[in-house]
Structures are given as C-alpha cells and as structure tokens.
C-alpha cells in the first residue's frame, strides 16, 4: 500500500475505535498479531488485549475525543501527532474522578501490513494529564550527601501529591 492509503487506515482507526468506541472494527483494522508499545510497560500483544484499553479510557473519560493534529507517512509507517480531550469522570491511574476537563497530547507511530495496523508505539504526555487531574507534582530537591558531581550537588525529582504548583502553572491549569 502507498503512504496515502496507510494514512486513510489510521484516520479510520481513530474515527472508529477511540472516537466512536466501535470495538467491532478491531478485527478489521488491526492485524491478528497486533503489538502495542507504551513506555515503561511490556509490549501488549493481540487484539483481545488491545480492546481493554479503549474500555478503560471510556470509563475514565466518557466524552474523550482524539483529534489528529498531524499525519506523516512513509513506506509502511504512519506518524500521528494527536490531542485527547475529555472530562475526568472515572478512576484513572488510581486517581478518583475530579470532574475536570482535561487535554493532553501524544505521538503514535503505526506500522501497517496487509491493509491493517500491525504495530503501534505510543508516547502520551501523561505528565501533562497528571498535572490536570492532581497526580503528584514534581519538585527538585538536593540529593543526599555523597551524591555530588564536579559541578555541585545533584538534584533529583521527588513526586509529592500535595505540594503546590508555582502560581503561573496553577493558573494555566485552572483555565483549562
């Protein structure tokens, strides 16, 4: 298939599964050995495993909509830059519903074979989402003694749920 045909398959996938929740289209759009890659977790393989993801997202964000911001294709690969928008009305990553409207971005790289999506690598901006739904804030703190470099003490990131954000970041989050 040519790159434009591959882009059309990805557009149909986004319109059908993430946006309409039509899981009946999974077997038509995804290869039987479909592999999904997210950072920090083992590869997920198979269409049956994939089907749990849209269901979990819909439970947490029932009005979730994925917007394709850019699609770039070459050979058997399609790269999508996307934005997700919805309302946090169900538990997500252990966080109780906040009722907040949220928006976060991501990049997905699809590999197509035999007119189906065979593999996908997703890099979602979960930190952007985390700030909006109240997951721990990141603050820099000096590292323990003995962990210095030639340039001075090392810093490390410490996650804390209740630490306040700088005022300008808090104001931006409130405007969303």
pLDDT in tens, 143-153: 445 444 445 44
- With a cut of 60, say whether residue 9 has pLDDT above it: yes
Q: Are 129 and 164 members of one domain?
A: no
Q: Are 39 and 102 members of one domain?
A: yes
Q: Are 41 and 117 members of one domain?
A: yes
- Chain length of the chain: 176
CA 171-89-137 angle, 5° bins: 40
Query: For the chain, what percentages of helix, strand and coil (3-state, to nearest 5) are there?
Result: 30, 40, 30
pLDDT band at 175; cut points 50, 70, 90: low
Q: Are 116 and 147 members of one domain?
A: no
102 bridge partner residues: 86
The answer to whether 84 and 64 are in contact (CB under 8 A) is yes
Structural domains counted in the chain = 2
Q: Are 88 and 30 members of one domain?
A: yes
Which residue range(s) make up the domain with 144? 137-175
Q: Are 98 and 128 members of one domain?
A: yes
- The DSSP call for residue 161 is S
Q: Are 12 and 56 members of one domain?
A: yes
Least-confidence region, from 27-36, 72-81, 105-114, 159-168: 159-168
Residue with the two structure tokens 């090392």: 154
Reported pTM: 0.76
Q: Are 143 and 126 members of one domain?
A: no
- Give me the phi and psi of 86, to 5 degrees please: -175, -175
More confident residue, 141 or 8: 8
């Amino acid at each position: 298939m040519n790159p434009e045909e591959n882009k059309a398959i990805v557009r149909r996938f986004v319109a059908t599964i993430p946006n309409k929740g039509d899981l009946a289209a999974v077997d038509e759009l995804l290869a039987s050995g479909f592999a999904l890659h997210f950072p920090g977790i083992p590869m997920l393989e198979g269409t049956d495993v994939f089907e749990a993801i849209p269901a979990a997202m819909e439970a947490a964000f029932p009005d979730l909509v994925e917007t394709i911001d850019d699609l770039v294709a070459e050979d058997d690969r399609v790269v999508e830059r996307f934005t997700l928008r919805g309302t946090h009305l169900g538990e997500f990553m252990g966080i109780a519903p906040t009722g907040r409207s949220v928006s976060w971005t991501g990049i997905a790289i699809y590999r197509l074979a035999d007119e189906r999506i065979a593999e996908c690598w997703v890099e979602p901006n979960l930190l952007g989402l985390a700030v909006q739904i109240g997951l721990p804030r990141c603050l820099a703190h000096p590292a323990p003694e003995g962990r210095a470099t030639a340039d001075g003490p090392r810093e490390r990131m410490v996650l804390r749920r209740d630490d306040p954000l700088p005022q300008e970041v808090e104001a931006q989050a409130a405007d969303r």
